[in-house]
Amino acid sequence: MRINGVTIADTFAEAFTMRVARIVITGRTAKWAREAAIKLTGFATSVIGCKCEAGIERELPPADTPDGRPGISVLFFTMDKQSLPEQLIVRLGQTVLTCPTTACFDGLPDVPDRLTVGKALRVFGDGFQASKVIGGKRYWRLPVMEGEFLIEETFGMLKGVGGGNFLILAEDADAALAAAEAAVDAMTSLPGVILPFPGGVVRSGSKVGSKRYKNMVATTNDPFDPTLRAITESEVPKGVNSVLEIVLDGTDAPSIAAAMRVGIPAACRPGVTTITAANFGGKLGPHHFHLRKIVA
């Protein structure tokens, strides 16, 4: 299969089950909501080193937020249900609580599995906190020097999908980067999906474990490193000199598939030879995204 002369490899991306929460941050202006969201999602590219993966899902107009102010929707992923509240409590407490004018709401209100994140953060109020029940939901009001910080008591938790991906194989680094940017632009703000890496793009795709260092959980994906083509069992075709990866996390598999359906064609640009994907033979996770089926 080819799109705009770019070969779509007959392979699949392999993804795994994660736990996900959706956080809605509002602020007096969109700037302040975004400031908090950027800090919250900082250093959250991969569970390998960050213990969580997070990203901005989309900007929300005032009409779509609980308090009628500009907002940002953030998706937050961890590998298990225990670490999700731990990460949220630490990160919300240090980033959203500290950010002027913000308030914090649950973006998965109908989900039965609840995390008592706001309830845990309330103790910052040192006994001066107060709660309010509005429309059946409990909110905590934490007195802060600016005024008050408002946070919902509980946040919903879903089973999500992490590790959706595709690789862009290009003739040179410029072409790979332009294709990756085009793909990211096409997938940005799609519902239920985030691209947790810088600018949505990964240059250092990894393989599980190490050939040399026992303690390393992940090391460079040498089959796709062009500089190692001559000395490894390379999967880099002749004429390819740069590879970039797009990683996607989503609230469910269809959301990831929908994003890949627009992202892959967008990456099929001049200078790109092949779109392929990373998998581990089906041993890593239950979610398989077959590239040709998705873009067919």
Partner 1 sequence: MSDIITLSLAEQPAHALIADCIAADRFAGLDAKAIAELPVVHGGRPETLGEFFKIRGGLSSVVRVEGELARVAAIGAGMAGGELTIDGSVGRDLGLAMSGGRIDVRGHAGDNVGGARPGAARGMTGGEIIVRGNVGDEAGARMRRGMIAMTGNGGQGTGVGMIAGTVVVLGRTGPGAGRFLKRGSIVALGPIDRPATFRYACTYHPPHVGLLLRYLRNRAGVTVADRYVVGRYERYSGDLAEVGKGEILHWVGE
- Cite the DSSP H helix spans in 29-82: 30-40, 47-50
Q: Which is nearer to partner 1, 152 or 249 (CB)?
A: 152
139 binds partner 1 (CB under 8 A): yes
State the nearest-atom distance from the C-beta of 192 to partner 1, in Å. 25
Q: How far is the CB of 262 from partner 1 (least distance, A)?
A: 33
Q: Which is nearer to partner 1, 150 or 272 (CB)?
A: 150
Question: What does R_g of the chain's alpha carbons equal in angstroms?
Answer: 21
DSSP string, 105-151: EES-TT-SSEE-HHHHHGGGGTT--EEEEETTEEEEEEEETTEEEEE
By CB under 8 A, residue 103 contacts partner 1: yes
Among 110, 112, 126, 135, binds partner 1 (CB under 8 A): 135
Nearest to 5 by CA among 174, 165, 179: 179
Is 134 a binder of partner 1 (CB under 8 A)? yes
Tell me whether residue 27 or residue 192 sits nearer to partner 1 (CB atom).
27
Q: Which of 69, 87, 71 is nearest to 79 (CA)?
A: 87
| Shortest Å distance, C-beta 72 to partner 1 | 16
Amino acid at the residue 127? G
Say whether residue 141 binds partner 1 (CB under 8 A): yes
Q: Which is nearer to partner 1, 136 or 198 (CB)?
A: 136
Please identify, using beta-carbon distances, which residue of 147 and 270 lies nearer to partner 1: 147
Residue in 31, 81, 132, 159 binding partner 1, rule: CB under 8 A? 132
| C-beta closer to partner 1: residue 26 or 87 | 26
Q: How far is 104 from 92, CA to CA, in rounded Å?
A: 9
Nearer Cβ to partner 1 (10/148): 148
Looking at the chain, how many residues does it have? 296
Q: In whole angstroms, how close is the CB of 135 to partner 1 at the nearest point?
A: 5
Minimum distance from residue 146 beta carbon to partner 1 (Å)? 8
- Binding-site residue total for partner 1 (CB under 8 A)? 16
Answer for the pair 18, 160: CB distance below 8 angstroms, yes or no: yes
CA 96 – CA 121 distance, rounded (Å): 11
Residue selected from 133, 230, 231, 296 as contacting partner 1 according to rule CB under 8 A: 133
* Contact in structure between 17 and 286 (CB atoms under 8 Å): yes
Considering only 10, 64, 80, 148, the residue that binds partner 1 (CB under 8 A) is 148
Count the Cβ atoms, other than its own, within 10 Å of residue 83.
14
Phi, then psi, of 118 in degrees rounded to 5? -65, -35
Smallest separation, CB 54 to partner 1 (Å): 24
Q: Which is nearer to partner 1, 128 or 213 (CB)?
A: 128
Per the structure block, which two tokens stand in for 88? 């949220």
* CB 290, min distance to partner 1, A: 44
Asked whether 163 and 256 are in contact (CB, 8 A), the reply is: no
Minimum distance of partner 1 from residue 107's CB (angstroms): 15
Quote the CA–CA distance of 278 and 259 in Å, as a whole number.
17
Show Cβ contacts of residue 90 under 8 Å, excluding neighbours closer than 6 positions.
none
Note whether 68 binds partner 1 by CB under 8 A: yes
Binding residues vs partner 1 (CB under 8 A): 66-68, 103, 128, 130, 132-135, 139, 141, 147-150
